[in-house]
């Protein structure tokens, strides 16, 4: 993009230059990437940190007496501290590196299956959960005879908090709610949800995959018991995620995968698990992932999540106005508190076709049900088109999107 709007809170032009892929031309045109909700692009600071790791730091962590191993162990543990500070967790050992949100959710589900859930117990999720959450708990309740309770959504695509209050009871063993819906962009009142659960001593697990890239998450202020996110959405590599857990919960959890470093001592009579956080990090970890994650967090903090949030809100409002001006277009997800994710449909035009024609115009969006099939059922829709906007996107790109949609409608109607 050569012309950049200057009246925004953020001088976006400088930041765009940090992302090498954004200057890539496709068919001679700038590539408009509006699929950061699936995976975000990586800044050169992150790419450099990863290159630097392989060029100067590569060794295994925790198990070498030599200099390189010592250095990388310190760097990897510093990465953990960077995440701890970013989330305002009380202790570094409350931060566990996982392979992503799906892995984190599996760890939590396994813990509850093993230790806490019996027949007739209840688990509360919301209607807007990512499918990974839904089927993990479904598997549980099938095996154990536990019951899945679902918080429904209102006409503005927000959670019915009054209904949620009624769902919590003595049988509820855990509440699992997404912080921000990946399909609707709805920002859920997780602080309130957690406080209400805690009144009845129910722990709460928050899926923050879509929240951490957009807003400042403070697990201490939220009082979250367990909180997870994946770093590929936070401008870092794929294959790394974070599971935050209050020390009390993590101490109770048995290792989900057992291997080197998860065990303190083994005798034929008894095996003693390692202390946190190594208890959950079997085998050689994704070291470059940890290093890159710290670089991504430093990068985002350098810009400032408040500035990012303000600019993304500006983008969201701009895109919403422009999109609603397209005839026959309807936005799915109209919550008052909304992140910069816009799902929409167009009368008489299949989302898949729109996605295909946009791709031909070098605009990347996502089509489908976004791993939230039950939510799509709620709306009676087979799929939507989703544009996710982050701080490296521009208003000019939104104009390209809107013009692309208009062209698609002409071709497909």
Q: Which residues bind to other proteins, rule: CB under 8 A?
A: 349-353, 356-357, 360, 367-368, 382-383, 411-412
Peptide bond into 384 cis (omega under 30): no
Length of the chain equals 413
Query: Shortest distance, CB of residue 98 to other proteins, whole angstroms?
Result: 24
The three-class DSSP label of residue 210 is: coil
At closest approach, how far in Å is the CB of 235 from other proteins?
A: 22
| 196 versus 412: smaller Cβ distance to other proteins | 412
Measured distance CA(215)–CA(180) in Å, rounded = 10
Measured from the CB atom, is 38 or 307 closer to other proteins?
38
Q: Which of 139, 217, 145 is nearest to 178 (CA)?
A: 217
Q: How far is the CB of 148 from other proteins (least distance, A)?
A: 26
Q: How far is the CB of 247 from other proteins (least distance, A)?
A: 40
DSSP H helices, 183-325, are 190-199, 219-222, 247-252, 287-303, 305-324
Query: Under a CB-based contact definition with an 8 Å cutoff, are residues 161 and 167 in contact?
Result: no
Residue closer to other proteins, measured from CB, 37 or 351 = 351
C-beta of residue 126 within 8 angstroms of C-beta of residue 133: no
Could you identify the residue written with the tokens 């799902």?
343
Give the CA distances from residue 68 to residues 46, 54, 211, 278, 332, in Å, rounded to whole numbers and listed in that order: 21, 11, 35, 20, 51
- Closest CB to other proteins among residues 6, 27: 27
Two tokens, residue 258: 């057992």
**What's the rounded Cα separation, in Å, for the pair 347 and 354?**
11
User: Using CA atoms, how far apart are residues 108 and 123, in angstroms rounded to an integer?
Assistant: 12
The CA-based dihedral angle spanning residues 92, 97, 103, 105, taken in that order and rounded to the nearest 10 degrees:
10
Catalytic residue among 51, 169, 228, 371: 371
Q: How far is the CB of 350 from other proteins (least distance, A)?
A: 3
Task: Give the strand order in the sheet containing 341-346.
Answer: 329-332, 341-346, 384-388, 366-368
Shortest distance in whole angstroms from residue 412 CB to other proteins: 5
Comparing CB distances to other proteins, the nearer of 27 and 201 is 27
Which helix or strand (DSSP H or E) is residue 366 part of?
Answer: strand 366-368
Whichever of 35 and 163 has its CB closer to other proteins, that residue is 35
Q: How many Å apart are CA 361 and CA 30, to the nearest integer? A: 10
Active site residue 371: yes
Q: Give 332 or 357: the residue with its C-beta nearer to other proteins.
A: 357
CA separation, residue 156 to residues 193, 205, 333 (Å): 18, 24, 7
To other proteins, the closest distance from the beta carbon of 302 in angstroms equals 33
List the catalytic residues.
371
């Amino acid at each position: 993009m050569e012309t950049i709007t200057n009246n925004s809170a953020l001088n976006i032009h400088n930041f765009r230059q940090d992302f090498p892929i954004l200057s890539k031309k496709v068919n001679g045109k700038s590539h408009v990437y509006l699929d950061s909700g699936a995976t975000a692009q990586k800044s050169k600071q992150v790419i450099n940190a990863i290159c630097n790791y392989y060029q100067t730091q590569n060794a295994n962590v925790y198990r070498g007496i030599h200099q390189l191993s010592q250095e990388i162990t310190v760097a990897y543990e510093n990465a953990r501290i960077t995440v701890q500070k970013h989330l305002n967790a009380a202790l570094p050992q409350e931060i566990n590196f996982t392979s992503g949100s799906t892995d984190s959710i599996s760890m939590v589900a396994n813990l509850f299956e093993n230790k806490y859930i019996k027949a007739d117990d209840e688990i509360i999720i919301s209607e807007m959960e990512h499918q990974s959450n839904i089927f993990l708990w479904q598997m549980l309740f099938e095996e154990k005879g536990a019951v899945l309770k679902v918080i429904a959504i209102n006409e503005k695509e927000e959670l019915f908090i009054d209904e949620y209050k009624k769902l919590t009871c003595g049988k509820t063993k855990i509440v699992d709610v997404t912080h921000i819906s990946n399909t609707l962009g709805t920002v859920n009142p997780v602080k309130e949800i957690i406080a209400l659960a805690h009144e009845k001593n129910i722990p709460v697990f928050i899926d923050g995959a879509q929240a951490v890239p957009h807003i400042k998450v403070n697990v201490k202020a939220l009082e979250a018991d367990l909180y997870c996110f994946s770093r590929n959405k936070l401008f870092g590599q794929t294959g790394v995620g974070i599971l935050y857990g209050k020390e009390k919960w993590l101490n109770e959890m048995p290792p989900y995968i057992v291997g080197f470093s998860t065990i303190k001592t083994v005798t034929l009579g008894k095996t003693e698990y390692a202390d946190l956080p190594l208890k959950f990090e079997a085998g050689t970890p994704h070291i470059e992932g940890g290093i890159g994650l710290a670089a991504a967090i430093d990068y985002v903090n350098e810009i400032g999540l408040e500035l990012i949030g303000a600019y993304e809100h500006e983008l969201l409002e701009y895109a919403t106005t422009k999109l609603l001006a397209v005839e026959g277009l309807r936005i799915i997800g109209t919550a008052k508190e909304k992140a910069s994710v816009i799902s929409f449909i167009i009368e008489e035009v299949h989302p898949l076709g729109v996605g295909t024609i946009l791709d031909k115009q070098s605009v990347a969006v996502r089509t489908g049900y976004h791993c939230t099939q039950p939510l799509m059922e709620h709306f009676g829709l087979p799929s939507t088109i989703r544009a996710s906007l982050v701080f490296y996107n521009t208003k000019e790109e939104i104009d390209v999107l809107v013009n692309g949609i208009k062209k698609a409608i002409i071709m497909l109607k």
